[in-house]
Structure 1
Amino acid sequence: MIKKFFIPFFIFFCLSFFGQNIKSVQLRPLQENSFSSIVPLGTVLKLSFDDLDADSKDYQYKIEHMNHNWESSRLSSSQYIDGFDQNTIINVTNSFNTFQNYTHYSVEIPNVNTIITKSGNYLLSVLNTYDEVVFTRRFVLYEKATTIGVSVERSRNTKTLNTQQTVQFSVNHSNITINNPNQEINVVILKNNNWNEKIENLQPTFYKPNQLLYKYTKKTNFWGGNEYFNFDNKIIRNSSLNVVKVIRKDIFHHYIYPYSYNPFNNYKYNPDINGQFTIRTLEATNNETEADYAMMHFTLEADEPFINKEVYIYGAFNNFDINNENNMQYNYKEKAYLGSILLKQGFYNYTFATIDSKNNVNTNDVTGSFYETENEYCVIVYYKPFGSFYERVIGVGTGYYNQNR
């Protein structure tokens, strides 16, 4: 899907982020293999990250309530938190028996000091000693006040029949009175838990008693994209899934199986986790502090470079951001784009994205877009009745494209 980014802000953000040597940021529920931070109100979310400076810093977390546009809401912190909205992260441990030293930080929310009482969008910021923002993550807490039915179909637009998917959904609100849906309801459709790929500003197409229907033909179309690539380096000293070569220097260097660009690429089913990653190692017992880091080398073979476009490695490993670290450079001798990123051991999904001279990010240029691709779509429903000071999230629905149904 094509998106625009404000590059000067991105560069500033990324310099702050990577200047702090922060890696492996995760904000997830405690359940295994659960990657989404869109959860029912009261669910425990765990924030964890590594600092490669391998010292002990006084990081703090701060929680702020936002509206559906991710702007600060009108609520004061005491209106949505029992306790404190800012606290020191005290769970700090050092890496053990790794070539790359690091300090691991983690905190669970809610905790005895911070209990969130209202549904909505929330921005979690991690601050350093100087109260500077090191990085941020979004999460959503929702009430089960409505039932959201979601279906994902092949595009009905003849021009995008083979490349796009259409999301249609209904909001069933028998327990909530909605007097003016156009003013009281906002919905956001999110693809694969990536806030860069969303559709918003939708109005119901049909009204029924206690039900709102959103049955668009084109307005809720997403590019299908392609399945993500993957690699697994849970064994640091030997090659494993899609890791074809391992070299030991000051740390281990892993070379990932090259991908050859083909503009006439056809869809091929490949199970993925929609761009996400999970930390794991088979050579120790504690993934958090005993998993090592390796320099991962990526190769995109192309006979010639893309005209007026930069190429990036793209995935949840860095929150689907575009920055200098995941930029690839074209090597004319090898006829390939090359890039390398320091990543913690685990199973990773990734793909390739391009950015043009107008700062449009496109995740389909390299691997293509197909209606058959299996994607996850999340519909978030926000409710702000007349006179209310904030938006509640009154329901969340999830739908998947499945070509075999």
Structure 2
Amino acid sequence: MRYLVIYTLLLLAGCTPLAPNAISSEGSVKVLRFADQTYEPEIKTVVIHPASSNQTSSLLPAVTKLGGENLILEFDDLTTQRDTYYARIFHCNYDWTKSILMDLDYMIEYNEFPINNFEFSVDSHVPYVHYRFVIPQVKLPGNYVLVVYRGSDKNDLILSKRFMVYDNRVAFLNERNLIGAGDIASLNQQINFTINYKDLDIINPLDNVKVVIRQNQRWDNIATDVRPSFVREIEKEIEYRFFDENKMFKGGSEFRFFDMRSLNYPGRNVARVNKSVKPFELYLEKDKSRANEAYSQYDDLNGGFILDNLDYRDASFANYAFVNFTLVSKDKIPGDVYVTGAFQQWNLNKENKMYYDTTNREYTAQFLLKQGWYDYQYVVKSNSLPPYALEGSHYETENMYEIFVYYQPFQPKADMLIGYLNLYKNKR
């Protein structure tokens, strides 16, 4: 009987429930995603950029060389009080699944960092606390996700944001082919390149080397695990040539944009400002489909945004405002329409989905955005229409591409980022 009681007690102890995940202010359970994500609606304007005082640094990719300059995380918390936030870093494989590495395998120090650099907004219509965090350096190249959580509860998630650290162990030979052949030339951009790995001993490079290509830092149309055309093991070269349309990137069109650096004297593509409410409401000029329009050349930010305040010339005085987007459409499109750009972290979800007004025959969406200059596009998610159905696609469009090369050695058993190339097509 004594052994039966002890066995029962052990069973009860083993059934102790795990700590539940935290609940967001909207009532949903917070589940960590190894992607760019905010887990509370009060967290806004999240960006990781290279350490620089230059205002345009937010346009640069969240990519740095191993042992090079630090990256900076910045975000706003729309509240009046400072909170206690901590950051943690996860190493991921090329496909953004968590690797098997332990913290000490890739971290120089203990993997928990307080975020102590903060600043309160001044006389803003929406009060907020601006946080700034210098991301510590890591020991290994690869994909990383920075996770911010509240206090000592690692389940009380605030945000997750991706960044990459590379160690160039391969050389790139880039061929300047821009387009494909025949009828597909007017829509697509072709990227041909060769990787030389003479300084590495790679077994079976056809399967063990992974290549990912990204256009304009977008996550919604990224090309993963790009397969090579030829492998020359004697020369230690891997060649990538893309002749098929499904292996090319659509050139798209130059991004739409608006200027809300000043709320007193709003800039281009802002139709009007409603100052009778706070925060102010901005109404952009009504947009229409560009699917059948000829290519129009102008400089854009490749989907990015620059924060700026022309009213006070002080970042702490920058205001948030509700920005209203309107897309005129005679009929409802067979599928979903989204407003997308870096300001929405390239996500296609309910937060940036547009809704069709049958009375006015137009799509509408509203976002709370900080003062600045913003690029955006309309993306279609449909079984019968391509994503660029409302924007059109042209091979002449200026785009920025990044090529990531990954290799998983025997030790450590995780994908290392051994090559990185940043290049432009049709650079002005």
What runs of 5+ residues in structure 2 fail to find an aligned partner?
1-27
- Asked if 1:260 is matched to 2:285, the reply is no
1:11–1:323 contact (8 Å) kept in structure 2: no
Pair 1:97–1:229, CA change in 2 (3 A) = same
Alpha-carbon distance in 1 for matches of 2:212, 2:411 = 22
Deviation for aligned residue 1:140: 0.7
After the TM superposition, which residues 61-80 of structure 1 pair with which residues of structure 2 at under 5 Å, given as runs? 61-80=87-106
Alpha-carbon distance in 2 for matches of 1:119, 1:12 = 22
1:326 to 352, 356, 380: 352
Q: Which amino acid aligns with 1:40?
A: K
Alpha-carbon distance in 2 for matches of 1:123, 1:387 = 21
1:142 to 166, 172, 193: 166
After the TM superposition, which residues 113-128 of structure 1 pair with which residues of structure 2 at under 5 Å, given as runs? 115-128=137-150
**CA deviation string 1:83-102 (max 9, x = no partner):** 12222211122101211111
Following TM superposition, the consecutive aligned residue runs of length 4 or more in structure 1 with deviations greater than 4 angstroms are 8-14
**CA deviation string 1:85-141 (max 9, x = no partner):** 22221112210121111111110112xxxx311111101111124322222111110
Alpha-carbon distance in 2 for matches of 1:87, 1:122 = 15
After the TM superposition, which residues 248-287 of structure 1 pair with which residues of structure 2 at under 5 Å, given as runs? 248=275, 249-287=277-315
After the TM superposition, which residues 206-217 of structure 1 pair with which residues of structure 2 at under 5 Å, given as runs? 206-208=230-232, 209-217=235-243
Q: Which amino acid aligns with 1:24?
A: T
Alpha-carbon distance in 1 for matches of 2:79, 2:215 = 34
- Asked if 1:168 is matched to 2:192, the reply is yes
- Asked if 1:220 is matched to 2:241, the reply is no
**CA deviation string 1:372-402 (max 9, x = no partner):** 2111111101122345422221111122221
1:149–1:397 contact (8 Å) kept in structure 2: no
Deviation for aligned residue 1:354: 1.9
Q: Figure out how many residues of one structure are paired with residues of the other and give that number.
A: 388
The residue aligned with 2:332 is: 305
**CA deviation string 1:196-244 (max 9, x = no partner):** 2222223332344132211221253111111111111111222212112
Matched-pair identity in %: 28
Pair 1:367–1:224, CA change in 2 (3 A) = same
The residue aligned with 2:5 is: none
Alpha-carbon distance in 2 for matches of 1:305, 1:281 = 37
1:27 to 48, 55, 58: 48
The residue aligned with 2:73 is: 47
Structure number with bigger Rg: 2
Q: Which amino acid aligns with 2:282?
A: H
Deviation for aligned residue 1:347: 1.0
Q: Which amino acid aligns with 1:252?
A: F
Alpha-carbon distance in 1 for matches of 2:29, 2:400 = 29
The residue aligned with 1:185 is: 209
2:74–2:131 contact (8 Å) kept in structure 1: yes
**3-state SS of the aligned residue for 1:203?**
coil
1:312–1:328 contact (8 Å) kept in structure 2: yes
TM-score in terms of structure 2 length: 0.84
2:172–2:193 contact (8 Å) kept in structure 1: yes
Alpha-carbon distance in 2 for matches of 1:11, 1:225 = 34
Alpha-carbon distance in 1 for matches of 2:210, 2:40 = 37
**3-state SS of the aligned residue for 2:186?**
coil
Alpha-carbon distance in 2 for matches of 1:18, 1:73 = 23
